[in-house]
Structure 1
Amino acid sequence: MTAASRSSRHPLTPLTPFTGPAVLALLAACATPPPAAAPAAPATVAVAATPPAAASGPAAAASGPAAAASGPAARPPGAAAAPSPGQPPAFATVIRDAKRSEGLFVVWRKDEKVWFELKPADFDKPFFLSPKLASGIGEASIFGGTMARPQVVEFRRLHNLVQLLALNTAYIAKPATPEARALAASYSPSLLASTAVASLPHPQRGTVLVDASALFVADLLQIAPQLQRSYRQGYGFDARNSGVTTVRGKPDMLVLEVTSHFATAVIAVPTPGTPPGPSPTAPRTLPDARSMFVNVHYSLAKLPEQVMPARAADPRIGHFVHLQHDFGDDLARTPKLRHVARWRLEKKDPAAALSEPVKPITYWIDRTVPVKYRGAISEGILEWNKAFERIGFKDAVVVKVQPDDADFDTLDFGVASVRWMVNASPSFGAIGPRHVDPRSGEILDADIAFESLSSRNVRSYRSRILGGSDAGATQAAWAELLQVGRPAGAAAAAQGHAAALAQGLGHPHDALCQHATFGAEQLAYGLDVLAAQGELEPDSPEAEAFVLAFLKDTAMHEVGHTLGLRHNFRASRIYTEAQLADPEFTRANGLTGSVMEYPAINLPRPGERRAAPFQTTLGPYDYWAIEYAYKPLGATDEAAELKRIAARNAEPELAFGTDEDHFFGIDPDSLQSDLGREPLAFARKRFEIAQDLFRRQERRTLSPDEDYGALRRALRFAVIDAGRAAGTVLRQVGGVRTLRDFPNSGRDPLQPVPPAEQRAAMALLSRHVLAADSLVISPALQRRLAPDYLERGDSVLFGDDEVPTDYPLAQALHEMRRAVLTQLMSDALAVRVLDSEAKAARPAEAFPLTELYKRLENDVWSELGGKGDIPAPRRELQREHLNRLAAALLRPGGGLRADARSLWRSQAQGLLPRLEAATRRPELSEAARVHLKDSADTLRAALAAPLQRAGV
């Protein structure tokens, strides 16, 4: 068959089959499968109550992974042995005494054997392969209920070899054209698995039997490498103790569930004296860390026969897009086509202003979801009907609850669901991934996952910041918390990590969604603050309503992802502080312009009225984004109407900025954990709430049945929230608003923060972060900050997150100030401030770098101009400033601008005599005097050191 003839009947323009003696010889050489893919002892076909047991414990499986590890070096993954000489057995011989079941394919089952019956028309035909994890291990991101990367696949027959191929759908051209022929010669499919034909053709139907285990009892999802990376152990796939456990057929789908065994012969332990670096660890959730079972749920389904019309993406609105390269138009600026991801939604009555859809978007609440939370989750899902009603759809979104005795699985392809997880090591809080038809961007399936509401999902993050033993990790955690700028290399690394996740169990955008994790932390902090203010009892119905509001907020956010919407981190800026303090306004309008935000919880100052804490209704942006993706449009006027819709982006309530706008740390509006139009007013309020909570812990009386860990937890949340407020302020200094405008908006796309706002931001940092009295705690309270001794015991006995005995509050505050100082003295910020000077409409009013450095010096070294001693926390901050100043003189960064380098030297020359003069003050303690002398010596040596000047 020629490439042109195949392309003419194949909507995905697949590639030409391999032909020619050389290629056939290569296939023959690669025909022997790796042992890991060979189904030596598949399990029974009936649903197993327990996974198949290893013959003699985990050690017995060692030969499987070891053999598997050596196979891929010589053969492609999934390759199987060539047929034995002679013909395969007759069809009737193979299926004798086997049980037949109907579905997408006829399936025959006998004992542990499972065969597909493939018709000639089933070969070279695209199918959608939707893999998911039906069970996991509760850690290492191997969680039961998660979606894995889908593939468009086809069966290809090469003589007596049947191959399961993953088609290359990213590159397309019009079928039966020269471009299609060139495309077929340029890009390859991938071999997932292969096996010999199991029978001769059926004498009447012409069908052949294919061993299902040979194709699917294998590590298709690359779980073993993920285990190896996570634990630094030699885990491998053990085919001998793996097998097909469930087969279910439907007219348009075949479901197989495979119990996959992974094992290692021994568990490696860290070796004393080894160089620094990742050390071997072991799973903590298994009875024996050498062995684990992971059930993989495969759905093999028909693709929609009628391809849904694709809708072009627009950068002014945030939708997930499916990317293809169309080589059919050489005159296009780029071959890239970006299609909006969306469900197929069509009116029953196209002429009606409001019509039910032909097929609604139906979400099933899985039977794993706790009953008490189903109502709030359902409300969050159905809230989206408001946006669809505005574009003419009635009841576009439907919610159903899976019965306890249901005979279907919500993991089946095409069943959108909401599931509950109780992972031992939560990592995402909630997630809303999708499976998409690559031809059009049509969303075909989605499975939202909620992790348990336990605060475990934020413990690890808090421990890295508060009390972690690794100073580098602590500073990295603070940098992440402050949301400061990342260099381009870090961005590329993050994108590469996301892409790696996309190749296996995750998705590039979903892997970065932390809405629920952040929201759970904010929920806990809000309950602490309101309890401390006497506004809320922790076990009251009001507290329960708090939790349900958080769940509805999270459900709306994750459903938004499954409808095709990306994050919108600029949406938090549309309402004023007065509006956010109004209970009636917030309940009617929410807190932000979009549920796709990560807004801070809406907390009152002490004595103020309490407004809505979470976003429980759609924002204006959400209506707009749904209109763009789902509004019914005729083919002739679609392009013009989409441009008209997108051109509204300059309207303030439709403000949009997404992950990449936030990630690079330049835009002061596109960031997480802020709230309100006035960012400095918001930060000031959060500083005041944190300081008030600090004061209330001083006089807090614990009940006899409480432990002192309650005090520590409240202060932890306060420090973290103050750090986030500091990050909001930091983004204003040198910030550049990056608007996604087209030229018709009348706005410049790059807008430096006004100088007055930058000066106000520096003043706020000076008062609430860099000042010695910004967050203080008495010695008496410090003596009461005992740990939760049960948690501390768990950290020692069971490897849980580290719980220090002594609460290092002073160190935590120092690390926060240090992170702020690092950002303010960074080369990247210096470049942005200098560039903002050049962009200023009125140069005389610009915020110059000289002013930034002078203000910072005065804030850090304020004691030089006064009287009295210099406290220890201030000495630490001053030493940090001095070390960075000296380093800039001795080893200036390659990207440092000439003006910045000159300013550093000038500042050092001016600071040195001030240090020398201060050392003579009689009221200084000996520690302060030594600190000043050593600082002066450091600065003097740095100024005297020879310089490596460019061009000399």
Structure 2
Amino acid sequence: MPNKPRTPHTLRWLKACCGVLIALCPLLSSAQSSNGSSSSASSTSGNGSSAVTSSAPQRPFMDVIKDYRRIPGFFTIWQKEDRFLIELRESDFNKPFYFVSHNAQSIGESPFVAGLLLDGTITQWRRTSVDRVQWVERNTRFFADGNKPLERAVGQAFPDSLIAAAPIVSQPHPQTKAVLVDLNILLLNDIPGAGPALEGSFRAPYAFDRGNSQILAMRSSSQELTFDLRYHFGLSRLPSSNSANGAPVRLPANVPDPRSVFLGFHFSFSPLPAETMRPRDADPRVGYFFTTRWDFHDDARPDPRVHYISRWRLEKKDEQAELSEPKQPITFWIDRNVPERYRQVVREGILLWNEAFERIGFKDAIVVKQQTDDADFDTLDRQHASVRWYIGTNANVAIGPSVTDPRSGEILDADVVIADVFTRGARRNIEHEFPSRARAAQQALQDALCDYPNAASVQFQEAYDLLLARGELKEGSPEAEAFIDDYMRLIVAHEVGHTLGLTHNFIASKAFTPAQLRDPAYIASHGTVASVMDYVPVNLSLAGEKPAPYFQKHLGAYDLWAIEYGYKPLPPENEKLLLDQLAARGRYEPTLAYANDIDALGNQGVDPDVNMFDLGNDIQTWFERRVQIARERIDWIARRPPGEHPYPLARESVMSSLSGLADSAQNLAKKVGGIRSVHEPSQRMPSFTPVPAAEQRRALDSLTRALFSSDSFRVPPALLQRLPMDHLNRFDDLIRGNVSSVDPQVPLVALVSRVQNAALERLVSDRTTLRLLDSELLRSTPEGALQLGDMLHQLNLAIWSELDKPGAEIDLIRRNLQRNWLGRLSGFVTHPSAGTPPDVRSLARLELQQLRGRLQRSLRSKHTPSTEAHLREALNIVDEALQARLLKLG
């Protein structure tokens, strides 16, 4: 966890999202467990105000503990009311142990999520003087075992970090030589770095308030010492509307007074594994989180880094048996805060993974247990991997982080957190207003490469709404409840996959053809995607098609293969060869293809096959089906008699139908200038292959027809007139600062612009235009390739198609699109960015010159005032751009 003092740690909170964790520092040596019986203690306060300072004289050990109660365990603790002392023997100093922290109580706003596993790190006690002890985080990422000179050099190069320090309050024990240290002073610091995280999220200078922070409770056993703490953070005054750097202040909305914020934390101290698990090397062809260490013992190695995958220690009881139970199963506890209605579904989602382990010889590798209401442990303890429930107002969270032993990559703890929105989403309206602070609040999680919870809840709501409209589901029916359960099971399986060490696989949705996705028998045996680690949308049929199964209900081929790579017992002498042979299958078997967050880049990557929330091996067919579904939803609502459809649901349906096209349009636009890539650690096959020109042209044609033609977006005015907002919720959001506008009308123009702009931004970005220009370098036969000039010309014709029809009027949506496009073309000529290829400027000038002639011809016809004013303004902008000097380059 963050040390004191350290740099801001908002990133540490965000990296936990969907298991995307920073590799933890490795260990140098193992720890031995302490003996002791299990016991517990609690207190109601503990601000440390009565603690003895370092300048106070040390009293005899027995005098200090005279009125204290001894609590044995991993470390011996002495308690007197609200004060805690830790007993440290000589053998406790300079010996590493594991420290894990969780956010135990939140404020119901992301990124502050109750139950979130924040960090796990290797720490130790270090005695610096006669009267002082430091709590230090070990810098064990760098090592040179077996090479004494380089071990010394590593020690001199990479220092440890201070977490906290406290005075020794007693003389050594007469026999054991143990000393007592003030634990209140050690723990009542902002160890998790929550103050900087609050300031980063709300742009207000929250300060840690030791006087009103307290140790609430502790539990102790020979294997773990845990503390529950409540930290207080305060503002001396409410800040102005803008922070020091000019950014708008956004205060917490879920606390009675934003000047005062309490956050709860759960700290765990435990021994390290006495015997280090044999590490397994990471491979770029199979998706695992991994721990990186720098091994300097061999100074002849070109790259000193080594990468160990994250995995649980799993060993057979009977090594000779083909199928054996493990010596120690991976045990998940369902927390008592999970609603009873969903406990069975959660259990099933966890146990889906046993299929993969059975294939490599483990029976019941994963075990699920239910925490009882009167249990004397917290599932946040390091010894209890768990699934917990989270309730918040703006965080659609599903997170599966874990922490590891960096010496080997062994996973030591994991906790899945799932928000109630995944079950409540089908029964309420998800915020779609644009712009909206509820959406903006998710950006922090998106920046951490995890938008599954937010986007999945929207996808689910859209599908559920459509199926209700068609009559395929009926609210509250067994079929509707089964639909929710199937969705929930898939979410749990995805997050548990992260806790098993697996990363996302965003190419798994490409495994099957559109025809196979319409075949119930095929889906029953193969699923809808090759991996539950993809972001999987609902498998919706078009109107008139026979419905196919909506959800993946079992693991995919990739999941089985990935678990085999990470967990299959292999003879050490042949492990490297066997793992290479196993990973090599991914090059030849389509269902084993792998691409992760780096390839997807939040749907901004270059490979059109690597996407979030797509389905099937034809992204163009997927996009065209999304367009048809969006139109179906709008048309269905428009045909309903007034008052028949609940108005909030109708409003949401129209808005999400339009806004939901933005991502799928961007995905299809990736084909233009796109490059298919594979994770290839050698030169045995090409790593990069340009998308065939014919595919690029078809994608551009499809986008042009669907998004940029004159009849692309049409919503009946009568429908727009009867889509009122939910005034009560909207007013509450306004009071809480959750919306930037109270305009009651559906923001149709803004939503359509969002869809069109997403595609245009992708098509004419510097990255796309540069790849189109450079594509001939990657092609053995560059003839027939889609040229940049061809793309710009086609877009120019489609966006200004009204100019070829004398007297044609141009409506508001089209005028906005044309202004956007004209701004891009003129910007290329007058204000190109540093990354804009020079050819783009010359080609844009050519298109402006051609557009100028078309505008002049169109103005010879009679138009309405709005259209004529628009055309004259456009002509003026074109003239200014063509006559302007180059104002900026770079």
CA distance in 2, matches of 1:948, 1:111: 72
Pairwise CA distance, 1:291: 2.2
> What is the identity, as a one-letter code, of the residue corresponding to 1:622?
D
> What is the identity, as a one-letter code, of the residue corresponding to 2:551?
F
Q: 1:566 to 1:189 in 2, by over 3 A?
A: same
> What is the identity, as a one-letter code, of the residue corresponding to 1:878?
Q
Match of 2:331 in 1: 362
Please state whether the residue corresponding to 2:349 is helix, strand or coil: helix
Match of 2:248 in 1: 279
Note the 1:770-781 alignment, pairs <5 A: 770-781=708-719
Match of 2:207 in 1: 236
> What is the identity, as a one-letter code, of the residue corresponding to 1:938?
I
Deviation string 1:264-302 (CA, Å, 9 cap, x unpaired) is 33222427xx99932333322222322232222111000
Picking from 477, 501, 511, the partner of 1:564 is 501
> What is the identity, as a one-letter code, of the residue corresponding to 1:353?
E
Does 1:222 find its partner at 2:159? no
Please state whether the residue corresponding to 2:118 is helix, strand or coil: coil
Deviation string 1:486-531 (CA, Å, 9 cap, x unpaired) is xxxxxxxx9xx89xxxxxxxxxx99432323222211111111111
Contact 2:425 2:461 in 1 (8 A): no
Match of 1:430 in 2: 398
Q: 1:12 to 1:931 in 2, by over 3 A?
A: closer
Contact 1:388 1:626 in 2 (8 A): yes
Picking from 787, 807, 816, the partner of 2:725 is 787
Does 1:732 find its partner at 2:679? no
CA distance in 2, matches of 1:284, 1:415: 32
Does 1:327 find its partner at 2:266? no
Match of 2:22 in 1: none
CA distance in 2, matches of 1:142, 1:458: 24
Match of 1:853 in 2: 792
Deviation string 1:891-938 (CA, Å, 9 cap, x unpaired) is 22222223322211222222211211111023x323222222222222
Match of 2:841 in 1: 901
Contact 1:458 1:517 in 2 (8 A): no
Does 1:89 find its partner at 2:26? no
Q: How many pairs were matched up?
A: 850
Pairwise CA distance, 1:213: 1.1
Say which structure, 1 or 2, has more relative contact order (CA 8 Å, 6+ apart). Answer: 2
Does 1:768 find its partner at 2:706? yes
Match of 1:270 in 2: 241
CA distance in 2, matches of 1:527, 1:702: 21
Contact 1:80 1:194 in 2 (8 A): no
Match of 1:921 in 2: 861
Pairwise CA distance, 1:454: 6.2
Contact 1:515 1:554 in 2 (8 A): no
CA distance in 1, matches of 2:456, 2:635: 25
Contact 2:292 2:305 in 1 (8 A): yes
Picking from 314, 320, 323, the partner of 2:283 is 314
Picking from 180, 196, 214, the partner of 1:209 is 180
> What is the identity, as a one-letter code, of the residue corresponding to 1:190?
S
CA distance in 1, matches of 2:770, 2:427: 36
Deviation string 1:43-71 (CA, Å, 9 cap, x unpaired) is xx9546xx6599xxxxxx9xx9xxxxxxx
Contact 1:345 1:358 in 2 (8 A): yes
Match of 1:654 in 2: 592
Tell me the TM-score normalised to structure 2 length: 0.91
Match of 1:58 in 2: none
Contact 1:583 1:609 in 2 (8 A): no
Pairwise CA distance, 1:872: 2.7
Match of 1:543 in 2: 480
Pairwise CA distance, 1:469: 8.1
Pairwise CA distance, 1:176: 6.4
Note the 1:330-409 alignment, pairs <5 A: 330-409=299-378
Note the 1:815-854 alignment, pairs <5 A: 815-854=754-793
Contact 2:529 2:615 in 1 (8 A): yes
Match of 2:409 in 1: 441
Pairwise CA distance, 1:657: 0.6
Match of 1:31 in 2: none
Pairwise CA distance, 1:80: 10
CA distance in 2, matches of 1:308, 1:621: 25
Picking from 743, 748, 760, the partner of 1:804 is 743
Please state whether the residue corresponding to 1:669 is helix, strand or coil: coil
Note the 1:397-796 alignment, pairs <5 A: 397-426=366-395, 428-453=396-421, 466-468=433-435, 511-650=448-587, 651-663=589-601, 664-701=604-641, 707-743=646-682, 747-796=685-734
Pairwise CA distance, 1:94: 0.9
Match of 1:149 in 2: 119
Pairwise CA distance, 1:377: 1.1
- In structure 1, runs of 5+ residues without a counterpart are 1-9, 15-44, 55-60, 65-78, 481-493, 499-508
Contact 2:54 2:168 in 1 (8 A): no
CA distance in 2, matches of 1:667, 1:838: 17
CA distance in 1, matches of 2:461, 2:835: 42
- In structure 2, runs of 5+ residues without a counterpart are 1-24, 30-39
CA distance in 2, matches of 1:381, 1:731: 35
CA distance in 1, matches of 2:659, 2:721: 21
Contact 1:455 1:521 in 2 (8 A): no
CA distance in 2, matches of 1:889, 1:292: 51
Contact 2:45 2:216 in 1 (8 A): no
CA distance in 2, matches of 1:459, 1:886: 47
Picking from 129, 132, 144, the partner of 2:99 is 129
Q: 1:461 to 1:743 in 2, by over 3 A?
A: farther
> What is the identity, as a one-letter code, of the residue corresponding to 2:113?
F
CA distance in 2, matches of 1:234, 1:529: 45
Match of 2:6 in 1: none
Contact 1:342 1:442 in 2 (8 A): yes
Pairwise CA distance, 1:13: 4.1
Aligned-residue RMSD, C-alpha: 2.9
Please state whether the residue corresponding to 2:783 is helix, strand or coil: helix
Match of 2:72 in 1: 102
Match of 2:821 in 1: 881
Q: 1:242 to 1:879 in 2, by over 3 A?
A: closer
Deviation string 1:680-718 (CA, Å, 9 cap, x unpaired) is 1111111111111111111123657x6422211111221
CA distance in 1, matches of 2:531, 2:752: 33
Please state whether the residue corresponding to 1:214 is helix, strand or coil: helix
Percent identity between the aligned chains? 39
Deviation string 1:300-338 (CA, Å, 9 cap, x unpaired) is 000001011111101111100111111111121211111
